[in-house]
């Protein structure tokens, strides 16, 4: 008999339950980028993100107590028009991997259903919203299999963030609303490589309510997956300098965020986007993910800023551009897009803003 079974048979507190849990979790956009990781999905540098509001994954996990079985029993289904078989396989692998942290999983069968309200390859990372929602579902199921009442306290979210990280590094940051840090840095108490930390103190309201409008420049599937991109950092000759820069940018960005200093904020998030793409360009092989359209918009955004519009951008590992600006500049930004970028139709634009984090859905 396996060790896990022995210990569970002794564990009389495990309840033989069935049910369904559901969480809605948002995507996030990195301001200081996570790019490069150590084994165990641990980051080489701390990263900082804003959790979005409207771009979410809804995840349902049905669980049935079936008694001990060595293999994990789980099925995955995508709903909506967002079918992506590769993602389904990734989810199943993930579920198998997290059983080391949730041994009760060996006693249940799971049916997982996922729905994104934003398109696949839209410039918003669906892995962050999906794995954070999935991790929340499993954290809740673990609690429900031992206790009558699930408590959504600090320890609950910490465990969920830890589990989400194992699915996708950036997913651990989607666990909280607002500004979220992932990665240990000496000067921020409570920061960890293993889970994310919500930053609360002294954040200027102008940053707390920032808007993110995403211009979809290229919808094709990226030529390199994030995981392969991170691996390129292991041999990139500039990686050590990059990790140092990320630390410095984080410090400067937090200062700017506290002061509500938008000029420094924009300059820092833009240099972060440039450094990410500089790493892609200088890896071996090198990748050019920016498109001529991205460069044109970068120039236009910077010109608008010089003219007085408080707007900046960031870009993830792709060509699509996130325009960030304070809530009260929305109208001006929209007239800029309408007048200067008429080739972008409504379907090429996603509008979002800073959100409050995941929500437990009652079925």
| Contact footprint for ligand DP6 (CB under 6 A) | 30, 33-35, 41, 47, 125, 127, 168-170, 226-227, 230, 276, 316-317
C-beta of 343: minimal distance to ligand DP6 in Å?
A: 26
Q: Are strands 18-32 and 47-65 parallel, antiparallel or unpaired?
A: antiparallel
C-beta of 272: minimal distance to ligand DP6 in Å?
A: 9
C-beta of 30: minimal distance to ligand DP6 in Å?
A: 3
C-beta of 314: minimal distance to ligand DP6 in Å?
A: 9
Neighbours of 237 (CB within 10 A): 9
* Burial profile 118-136: b = 16 or more Cβ within 10 angstroms, e = fewer: bbbebbbbbbbbbbbbbbb
Say which DSSP state 356 is in: -
Say which DSSP state 222 is in: P
Say which DSSP state 221 is in: P
C-beta of 342: minimal distance to ligand DP6 in Å?
A: 29
Q: Which residue, among 281, 289, 278, 274, has the nearest Cα to 320 in the 3D structure?
A: 289
Residue carrying structure tokens 């103190």: 201
Nearer to ligand DP6, 227 or 335 (CB): 227
Nearer to ligand DP6, 100 or 335 (CB): 100
Nearer to ligand DP6, 169 or 310 (CB): 169
Nearer to ligand DP6, 105 or 276 (CB): 276
Radius of gyration of the chain (CA): 21
C-beta of 219: minimal distance to ligand DP6 in Å?
A: 17
Nearer to ligand DP6, 304 or 316 (CB): 316
Nearer to ligand DP6, 55 or 143 (CB): 55
Q: Classify burial at 221, counting beta carbons within 10 Å of its beta carbon; exposed 0-12, middle 13-18, buried 19 or more.
A: exposed
């Amino acid at each position: 008999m396996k060790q896990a079974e022995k210990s569970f048979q002794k564990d009389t507190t495990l309840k033989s339950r069935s049910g369904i849990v559901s969480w809605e979790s948002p995507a996030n956009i990195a301001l200081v980028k996570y790019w490069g990781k150590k084994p165990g999905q641990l980051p080489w540098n701390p990263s900082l993100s804003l959790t979005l509001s409207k771009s979410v994954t809804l995840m349902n996990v049905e669980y049935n107590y079936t008694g001990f079985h060595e293999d994990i029993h789980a099925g995955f289904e995508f709903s909506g028009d967002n079918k992506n078989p590769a993602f389904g396989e990734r989810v199943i692998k993930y579920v198998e991997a997290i059983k080391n942290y949730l041994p009760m999983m060996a006693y249940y069968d799971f049916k997982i259903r996922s729905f994104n309200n934003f398109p696949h390859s839209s410039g918003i990372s669906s892995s962050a919203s999906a794995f954070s929602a999935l991790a929340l579902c499993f954290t809740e199921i673990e609690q429900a299999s031992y206790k009558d009442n699930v408590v959504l306290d600090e320890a609950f979210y910490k465990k969920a963030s830890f589990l989400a990280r194992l699915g996708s590094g950036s997913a651990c940051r989607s666990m909280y609303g607002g500004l979220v840090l992932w990665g240990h840095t000496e000067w921020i108490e409570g920061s960890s490589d293993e889970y994310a930390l919500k930053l609360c103190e002294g954040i200027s309201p102008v940053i707390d309510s920032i808007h993110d409008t995403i211009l979809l420049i290229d919808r094709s599937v990226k030529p390199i997956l994030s995981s392969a991109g991170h691996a390129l950092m292991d041999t990139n000759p500039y990686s050590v300098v990059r990790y140092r820069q990320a630390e410095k940018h984080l410090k400067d960005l937090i200062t700017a965020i506290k002061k509500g200093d938008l000029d420094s904020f924009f300059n820092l998030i833009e240099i972060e986007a440039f450094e990410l793409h500089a790493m892609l360009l200088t890896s071996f092989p090198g990748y050019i993910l920016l498109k001529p359209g991205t460069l044109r918009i970068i120039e236009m955004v910077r010109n608008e800023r010089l003219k007085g519009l408080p707007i900046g951008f960031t870009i993830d590992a792709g060509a699509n551009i996130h325009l960030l600006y304070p809530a009260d500049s929305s109208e001006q930004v929209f007239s800029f897009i309408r007048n200067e970028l008429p080739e972008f139709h409504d379907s090429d634009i996603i509008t979002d803003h800073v959100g409050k984090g995941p929500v437990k859905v009652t079925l």
